Amino acid sequence: MTVVFKEFFIDFQRCIGCEACAAGCAECHTHRGYPMVQVDKVDPAMSPQTSPMVCMHCKVPTCALSCPADAIKVDENGIVHSSLKPRCIACRNCELACPFGVPMIREDIQQMQKCDMCFDRTAAGKKPMCCTVCPTGALHYNTMENMLAARPHSKPINKWQFGNQIVETRLWVMVPHDVDIMVVDWPELLAGAAGPIELAVKLKERFPLQGFPGPQPTRDEPVPVGAGVGSFSDTEAEYL
Amino acid sequence: MKELTRLSKMFAEQLHWGALAKATIATALLGVTIILGSRNLANFDAALIGYTFASLFAAFGIVYRYSVWLTKPPTRMYWRRGWQLFLSPRLWKNLRSPRILAEAVVRKIVVQDFVWHRSPERWAGHMLIAAGCVLAALVTFPLVFGWVHFTQGAITPEPTYIIQVFGFGVREIALHGLESWFTFHALIVASVLVIPGVMIVMYRRMLDTGAVAVQRFSRDFLPLILLFAVAFTGLLLWVSYEFLEGYFYTALAQLHAWTVIGTLIYLPFGKLFHIFQRPATLGIAYYKSHLSELEPACCPLTGEEYAPAVQTKDLTEVLHELDFDYSAVGGPPETPPWNEISPAGKRMLIGRAHSKIRNDRFD
């Protein structure tokens, strides 16, 4: 049976920070309880905006080339895999070199683990776990034709520019039609950075899955029935 | 003919001449030690000639692959740093260097605690296989190369054997005793270690859904099948001469020889090469123990101390050698390259870059 691998799309604007992707990802037995999807607050001091990050599966992977142990391999479907266990020496080169900040080092088992596009599922014709559980389609697995028809207001691109480096990826990101390349202009972004980021990062570590603590109902103040449950307008329902 | 010329040209281009030279020298040296160690082949067992040539081939392949591997920019960087730190006089104060080395050897190579953390059953299987293979290698290679052989010692009152190493009698052992039993049955012990080890690992590979998802026959099963074949046919030889008066021995000996030769030839190519590659972790141990004392690199966005500064600078150099250029376009001169921003910082900046290109045009 030949399985046709489809395309993976990230639509950052749709992420609502629910972290269902991370919870679903953690179910997989190849990385046993550790999520490989990372959902980050984009500017935690200023806004609740979040963005999901999975491995972009670069066509020329910086992680694999910077690995001193030859432990990171790309398969015939363009999927960049977690490091090979017998070889990986957990040196952290891949983690630090990856332009998307994706690989995770497990010091205890001396291995780098990362998103492998749910190889066990996609190789059997299924969607990756994160795409299955994402409620808004921010992470989506489909054919290119279906995606173009379903989301005509955006276009998928797979080229990134980090300073002088152009990176081409197997994964696509949805952007406005006049954009051809995702330019990450960090000198300008860093100059515009504001807010107590360190505090935000610490809070994120403290509350990894729940997000930041908001007003919590106490025992004395029971949650009113129906609170927080709204109804979707037609446009919103269509959007979902 | 034209095709042949094209192929030979391609082969010559692919060939790594430096590694070829090193591998040739290493193989020649092994050949010389075989001749010297066996006293001009006087103590060389001609029946083992197949093993000898397979070992020479393996030595060539291993040194060739290792040498090519060391030319990769990231590998070369760690190799250089590992030796630099090992020889650094600062680390030899208070005998820190040998302590780091001893700890790394015990944890990473002898005990392999990281395999235990992967799973205890995996550790049990791996330890059994590793112990069996090391024991078998310690016995087989010196015997095959004629470096070790046995001669008869006293006949009465207690018969003895003399162990000859490089042609020098080094130890006389009683023929009927625990030491001689172990010496003459070391390979049986090795196979009794390897076979259950292979079984544990095979069992895991068949049932563990995580392993099933990513394993491949050539990478993960072939080496196990080879090790099992070597150990099992070796054990059959013992059964034949110990219990069946040598029944079928010649054919079994041939079969065993082919499994061993096959495994030796496979050594430089497949998964078993990790035996030679893995000791590189010792260099990393130096690197890490040294780096932990040094100034950390701080992420310009999040402010977190995410890695030692030396490592991030080394990586910038390595990436440059690999023809990656993650330096910034515009911005003040002190702007760090993209790879010197922490992984968390990179992800946040990517999110912000997306917001910027969206420019409120959400759909």
Cβ atoms of B135 and B186 closer than 8 Å: yes
What is the reported pLDDT for B136? Answer: 96
Dump pLDDT digits (tens) for B137-161: 999 999 999 999 999 988 888 899 9
pLDDT of A236:
39
The count of other CB atoms within 10 Å of the CB of residue A203 is 16
Which residues of A fall within a CB distance of 8 Å from B349? 184, 186, 189-190
pLDDT of residue A30: 83
**The CA-based dihedral angle spanning residues B7, B73, A114, B120, taken in that order and rounded to the nearest 10 degrees:** 100
CA atoms in the 13 A half-sphere facing the CB of B157: 0
User: What is the pLDDT, as a whole number, of residue B302?
Assistant: 85
**Is residue B345 pLDDT above 90, yes or no?**
yes
Pairwise CB contact (< 8 Å): A184 & B330:
no
Mean pLDDT, rounded, of chain B: 91
Least confident of A192-206, A225-239, B54-68, B90-104: A225-239
SS3 of A69, please? coil
Closest-CA residue in chain A for B341? Answer: A96
Which residue on chain A is closest to B324 by alpha carbon?
Answer: A165
Q: How far apart are the first and last CA of chain A?
A: 33
Interior angle at CA B288, CA B286 and CA B289, nearest 5: 65
Q: Is the dihedral of CA B95, B98, B99, B100 positive or negative?
A: positive
Given an 8 Å threshold on Cβ–Cβ distance, is A186 in contact with B341?
yes
Flag if A30 and B210 touch (Cβ within 8 Å): yes
Choose between B45 and A225: higher pLDDT. Answer: B45
Whether A206 and chain B come into contact, CB under 8 Å, resolves to no
Written as one letter, the residue type at B142 is P
Task: Choose between B363 and B243: higher pLDDT.
Answer: B243
Q: Which residues pair with B149 in a beta bridge?
A: B164
Query: Do B337 and A153 make contact, defined as CB atoms within 8 angstroms?
Result: no
Instruction: For chain A, list the strands marked E by DSSP.
Output: 7-10, 38-41, 50-53, 104-106, 111-113, 139-142, 155-162, 165-175, 182-184
Burial class (CB in 10 A: 0-12, 13-18, 19+), A204: middle
- Mutation test of the interface with chain A: which of B324, B327, B360, B362, choosing the one with the most A Cβ atoms within 10 A? B324
Is the CB of A53 less than 8 angstroms away from the CB of B349?
no
CA distance A29 to chain B (A): 4
Query: Is residue A211 within 8 angstroms of chain B, CB to CB?
Result: no
> How many residues does the structure list for chain A?
240
The pLDDT, as a whole number, for residue B11 is 78
| Domains of chain A as residue ranges with CATH | 7-191 (3.30.70.20)
Picking from A86, A92, A116, the nearest residue to B274 by CB comes out as A86
Which residue type sits at B15? L
Greatest C-alpha distance within chain A: 60
Q: In this complex, which of A65, A110, A183 lies closest to B322 when CB atoms are compared? A: A65
Distance CA(B60)–CA(B285), nearest Å, equals 28
- Predicted local confidence at residue A200, as pLDDT: 52
For residue B174, give every residue at least 6 positions away whose Cβ sits within 8 Å of its Cβ, in sequence order, or none: B158, B159, B160, B180
* Token pair in block for residue B190: 């090795």
Q: For the residues B87-92, what does the mean pLDDT come to?
A: 84
Beta-carbon separation of B349 and A184 below 8 A: yes
- Residue B291, pLDDT > 90, answer no
Top residue of A77, A91, A117 to mutate, by most chain B CBs within 10 Å, is A91
Cα distance from N-terminal residue to C-terminal residue, chain B? 62
pLDDT in tens, chain A (240 residues): 678 899 999 999 999 999 999 999 998 888 878 999 999 998 887 788 999 999 999 999 999 999 999 999 999 999 999 999 999 999 999 999 999 999 999 999 999 999 999 988 998 899 999 999 999 999 999 999 999 999 999 999 999 999 999 999 999 999 999 999 999 988 888 876 654 455 555 555 555 544 444 433 344 444 444 444 444 444 433 433
* This prediction's pTM: 0.85
Q: What pLDDT score does A215 carry?
A: 39
Instruction: Give the whole-angstrom CA distance, residue B233 versus residue B252.
Output: 7
Say whether B172 sits in a helix, a strand or coil.
strand
Q: Is the per-residue pLDDT at B203 higher than 80?
A: yes
Q: Dump pLDDT digits (tens) for B224-264.
A: 999 999 999 999 999 999 999 999 999 999 999 999 999 99
Cβ pair A172, A142 in contact under 8 A: no
